[in-house]
């Protein structure tokens, strides 16, 4: 694993693309080291970071690196709070503070197992760079609330889609698609990222079927490099893991259940 440059650096936004309700923020990052799929960066706008709703944001926000293309890094955004709102406003030429890549990423599937990528909502981001990287046969299952969000599936190739309201793809949960896939061929490694209830569904299903699973977790964090101890999740057998340095990708076997508190700085 290559280390992140010590200290935040400035990136220049090269573009921001609409993808349904999401935005793909693209930024030139000529000094960034190679990214391991699943790693993240702490982002903040250089100008006007603060003074939004509730006089926020203050700390930077953690985002999975969704893709690396040449010297460009891509991030998937959804406007859900003052931090993400400010980042969604950025346009070409605007400047961005970035610290990263940070954390532990996904590890490649072992011989004889296919990769099953399971994503939900804005959590599909790290699965895109994982799909770019994996040379083997990949199955992609993505769940969204509705059709406007399901447009995000275009970030990955060849995805089967489920929506909560049935407005696009399978009417139901992405874990139902996962159950069918595991029944069809259980020789798989599951890579999952999404909201906590989805991850808990994936974790429980994989534990029940003895399928290895790597879960990319989200938690509110202030620093991203192990300093603040704010982003913890309960560990199997007691104690806590720091999502930023012990994760964000955590082997499902290390968790009794996924108990990530949503409502982190957004």
Partner 1 sequence: MSVEFCGLTLAHPVINGSGTFDAIAARRAFGEQLRERFPFAAYVSKTITLEPRAGNPPPRLWEAPAGLINSIGLPNKGLYDYVREDLPALGEIGIGARPGAGGTDPSVPLITNVMGASAEELAQLLEVCNERTEIAALELNVSCPNVKTGLDIGADPRQLEAVVSAVRGRTDKPLIVKLTPNTADVPDCALAAEHGGADAVSLINTLRATALAPRRSPGGSERWLGGGSGGLSGPAIRPVALAQVAAVAARVKIPVIGMGGVQSAAHARDLLDVGATLVAVGTESFRDPTVAARIARELARGVPAGEPIGAAREDSGA
Q: Is 34 in the site for partner 1 (CB under 8 A)?
A: no
Compute the least distance from the CB of residue 43 to partner 1, in Å.
11
Q: Is 242 in the site for partner 1 (CB under 8 A)?
A: yes
- Report the site for partner 1 in 163-202 (rule: CB under 8 A): none
Distance of alpha carbon 255 from alpha carbon 158, whole angstroms:
30
For partner 1, the binding residue among 225, 251, 254, 257 (CB under 8 A) is: 225
Q: Is 93 in the site for partner 1 (CB under 8 A)?
A: no
Distance of alpha carbon 236 from alpha carbon 252, whole angstroms:
10
Q: If you count them, how many residues does the chain have? A: 266
The set of residues, in sequence order, having a beta carbon less than 8 Å from that of 72 and lying 6+ positions away, is 14, 26, 27, 28, 29
- Which residue number, 179 or 222, has a Cβ lying nearer to partner 1? 222
Q: Is 97 in the site for partner 1 (CB under 8 A)?
A: yes
What stretches of the chain show up as alpha helix (H) in DSSP?
82-89, 125-133, 147-150, 174-184, 196-208, 243-246
Distance of alpha carbon 202 from alpha carbon 122, whole angstroms:
17
- Which residue number, 148 or 228, has a Cβ lying nearer to partner 1? 228
Give backbone dihedrals phi and psi of 24, rounded to 5 degrees, phi first. Answer: -105, 110
Q: Is 129 in the site for partner 1 (CB under 8 A)?
A: no
- Which residue number, 166 or 229, has a Cβ lying nearer to partner 1? 229
For partner 1, the binding residue among 233, 249, 252, 255 (CB under 8 A) is: 233
Q: Where are the beta strands (DSSP E) in 20-113?
A: 22-28, 40-45, 61-64, 67-69, 72-77, 95-102
For partner 1, the binding residue among 88, 89, 222, 257 (CB under 8 A) is: 222
Beta bridge partners of residue 191, listed in sequence order? 117, 214
- Say how many residues touch partner 1, by CB under 8 A: 49
Compute the least distance from the CB of residue 4 to partner 1, in Å.
6
Q: Is 255 in the site for partner 1 (CB under 8 A)?
A: no
Which chain residues interact with partner 1 by CB under 8 A? 3-10, 44, 46, 50, 54-60, 95, 97, 99, 102-103, 219-234, 238-240, 242, 245, 259, 261, 263-265
């Amino acid at each position: 694993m290559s280390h992140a440059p010590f200290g935040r650096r400035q990136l220049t936004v090269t573009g921001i693309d609409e993808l349904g309700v999401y935005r793909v923020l693209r930024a030139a990052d000529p000094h960034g080291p190679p990214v391991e799929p699943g790693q993240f960066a702490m982002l903040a706008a250089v100008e006007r970071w603060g003074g939004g709703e509730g006089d926020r944001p203050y700390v930077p926000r953690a985002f999975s690196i969704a893709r690396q293309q040449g010297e460009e890094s891509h991030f998937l955004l959804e406007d859900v709070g003052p931090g993400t709102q400010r980042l969604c406003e950025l346009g070409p030429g605007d400047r961005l503070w970035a610290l990263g890549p940070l954390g532990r990423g996904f590890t490649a599937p072992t011989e004889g197992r296919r990769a099953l990528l399971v994503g939900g909502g804005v959590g599909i981001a790290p699965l895109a760079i994982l799909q770019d990287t994996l040379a083997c046969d990949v199955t992609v299952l993505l769940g969204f609330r509705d059709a406007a969000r399901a447009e995000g599936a275009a970030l990955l190739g060849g995805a089967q889609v489920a929506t909560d309201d049935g407005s696009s793809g399978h009417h139901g949960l992405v874990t139902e698609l996962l159950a069918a896939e595991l029944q069809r061929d259980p020789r798989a490694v599951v890579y999952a990222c999404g909201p906590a209830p989805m991850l808990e569904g994936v974790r429980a299903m994989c534990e029940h079927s003895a399928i290895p699973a790597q879960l990319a977790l989200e938690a509110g964090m202030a620093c991203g490099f192990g300093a603040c101890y704010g982003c913890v999740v309960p560990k199997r057998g007691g104690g806590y893991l720091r999502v930023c340095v012990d994760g964000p990708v955590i082997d499902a076997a290390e968790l009794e259940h996924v108990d990530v508190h949503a409502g982190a700085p957004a």
